[in-house]
Structure 1
Amino acid sequence: MQSIVLLMWLALCTEQDVRERQVSDLLTLGVGGAALIWLFITGHSWLGAEASDAGWGLAIVMLLTLPGYMLGRLGASDVKLLAALALASSHHYVLGTFIGAGVTVVVWMMFRRRLWTLLNPKVKKRLQALAQQLNDKQPFVPYVIAGFLLTSVWIQ
């Protein structure tokens, strides 16, 4: 059940990232703050991991995302989103999400032309309009949600 709530949150973040190329602080900091309060009250993360596992997840997120942020490859909202995800889950989910997101990026890069032909014409038109409006920065959260979904299936 908790994984479904996190998936719905990530779906909202994905939609906003695709549409606006950033995720609002209300979504990232709100969930991060709620996850932190949950950790302090219950002693475990939203997905049931020990507080130390969530702390390790946060440390891993900072280690893996801050260099990308400093180099301009990741936005601040991406770092905050992954930090909130770490506080709500554990280091296993964080590492799995990163690996799954990386695999998803590679698969998309390899097969995007073929996958594009399979899309519904209405979806193609919508995505093409978005790509023309803002083509300088690619959304990252769609890959994160795919990685989290793959990790959730793998772990559970």
Structure 2
Amino acid sequence: MSSFVVAVFLGICALQDIKHKRISNWLTLSAIVAALAYLLVFQRSWLGAPPLDAALAATFALLLSLPGYALGKFGGADVKLLLFIGLAGSSQLLLLCIAGAGLAYAGWVLAAKPVWPLLSETAQNHLGHMAPAQVKTYPFAPFILAGFLTAIFLTEM
């Protein structure tokens, strides 16, 4: 059930990112605070990892995302989403999530041009920032969601 709540949260963030190419700080920071509070109170992450593993995952999240942010290749919200996943999950989950997100992003880069014309006009309007002709880089939160779902599938098999 906890992974479902995290997936719904990431889905909300992904929708906001697709629509506005921005995610509310209120949304991301409150999730980080909630995951950290849960970790401190219950001495395990929201998804059941020991505190040391969640701390390691949070460290990995920052080490892997802050350089991209500093180079302007990664958004601040993406850094915060990965930090949240680290605090709420485990190092294995985070690393699988990042790998899955990267693969999903690469898949969209390859598939977007041929797939985009097949989408209805309504779908294209709702997915505006995902249009291959209009953007240099795509919003990353939808791919973080895809990576998280992949990681959950792989770790709960």
Would you call these one fold, judging by a TM-score over 0.5? yes
Q: Which residue in the other structure is 1:54 paired with?
A: 54
Following TM superposition, the consecutive aligned residue runs of length 4 or more in structure 1 with deviations greater than 4 angstroms are 128-132
Amino acid at match of 1:84: F
Q: Which residue in the other structure is 2:27 paired with?
A: 27
* Distance of 1:135 and 1:60 partners within structure 2: 29
What does 1:127-142 align with in structure 2 at a 5 Å threshold? Answer: 127-128=127-128, 131=131, 135=135, 138-142=138-142
Q: Which residue in the other structure is 2:7 paired with?
A: 7
Contact conserved, 1:21 with 1:137, CA < 8 A, in 2? no
* Distance of 1:50 and 1:39 partners within structure 2: 9
Amino acid at match of 1:81: L
* Distance of 2:105 and 2:130 partners within structure 1: 19
Question: Structure 1, residues 97-120: CA drift from partner, whole Å, max 9, x if none?
Answer: 100011111111222233324433
Alpha-carbon distance change, 129 to 57 in structure 1, aligned in 2, over 3 angstroms: closer
Give the secondary structure class of the aligned counterpart of 1:45.
coil
Gaps of 5+ in 2: none
TM-score normalised by length of structure 1: 0.91
Contact conserved, 1:97 with 1:148, CA < 8 A, in 2? yes
Matched, 1:44 2:51: no
Gaps of 5+ in 1: none
What does 1:6-155 align with in structure 2 at a 5 Å threshold? Answer: 6-128=6-128, 131=131, 135=135, 138-155=138-155
Alpha-carbon distance change, 63 to 100 in structure 1, aligned in 2, over 3 angstroms: same
Question: Structure 1, residues 78-136: CA drift from partner, whole Å, max 9, x if none?
Answer: 1111111110111111100100011111111222233324433320233348759x735
* Distance of 1:146 and 1:48 partners within structure 2: 21
TM-score normalised by length of structure 2: 0.90
Aligned-residue sequence identity (percent) comes to 36
Give the secondary structure class of the aligned counterpart of 2:73.
coil
Question: Structure 1, residues 51-99: CA drift from partner, whole Å, max 9, x if none?
Answer: 1111111111111101001001111111111111110111111100100
Let me know the Cα RMSD of the aligned residues. Answer: 1.9
Amino acid at match of 1:59: T
Contact conserved, 2:45 with 2:90, CA < 8 A, in 1? yes
Number of residue pairs matched by the alignment: 155
* Distance of 2:56 and 2:118 partners within structure 1: 40
* Distance of 1:154 and 1:18 partners within structure 2: 26
